[in-house]
Structure 1
């Protein structure tokens, strides 16, 4: 079975809206990539939902997507795809690996897949919390030097991911971002942060191929500018921020 077809729930129709749902993929470690939710819906709004899995939990596959106050759990590349997606006020939580979690790991939270610089796609995290589940944090604190967690890595050549006004807990490594393989995409990706807070937010130690977003560029990633959200997102908070 392909990753694309492994989803517990998959949505194709435009204008999809969901609220107060929990969607989980309970596949064991032999399944490797096992998607809980795959979304190919343009103009989609997801509010107060939980997406639970391990590797490849949320496949934000394509088109414009807005997530508000959601909880997303996983470990390997667990938010991935080539959508233009904004995650606002979400909890992004790392889970322990399913096999020998005590041995340590290198987890990437995101793996964005933009293949062309002309594509208006990317992942934008606004006012989000990056943390681990209670079980993972117990594991992390037992031997933090072997448990490495990164904000993202480039699945495709023009990968784009930004974190704005988000709180990064201690599990986020000082380097912040990890390569996919060698120097692949390091000169063409865009990874940025603006006003990160918390013990995992020290930008001075970030990899040199990531960016500190200039204040004058932050509005590029607003809901209106990035996904034209004022035209189609119902009033569920602060859609214009």
Structure 2
């Protein structure tokens, strides 16, 4: 039996996995959706990126989980990738869902595709938080109107400190057993850092014909990918 630890990206909490968890549990596995500090039901808790790494490691250790599959979506690939190397032989595999990956000494902001200055200015202008997306921002991502409304209504501002703090890796990320899920409506090709990691024989690429939030748009298909990654 695998134990899935599920971490959604910016603005989201454990609730984002509500449509995925039943499929994992029905297949006989444990599922542990996690809210990172400063978000959703943990809003108001001070949080840097290393706080988020400790959040992930903490749930694995406090619940004494073994055969762990860590799942990081979007921003959360950065703390999840760091947590993966810190849980040692508890780890079975890490799955990055259309996510950023940690680069030693680099932050989410430093790798922002429109340039760091633009994202930094947005965070400063919103009181130190990254403002949630609007309904218009979610267009073209295979989401229904109902799913978009749920996303917008339940999203919370993301702590800017976690986006600016650099990642810290003890060893090359390519040494970890990993699956990268590329959601094709959010760009047909992985970014340069991911493309390089995919040259490792320990990394596998899986493509999914949906948008950036497959836990909403294609929960059953995403669950199947996660189960396959766990060897189920």
Same fold at TM > 0.5: no
TM-score, with structure 1 as normaliser: 0.30
Higher strand share: 1
Higher helix share: 2
TM value normalised by structure 2 = 0.31
Compare relative contact order (CA 8 Å, sep 6+) and give the higher one, 1 or 2.
2
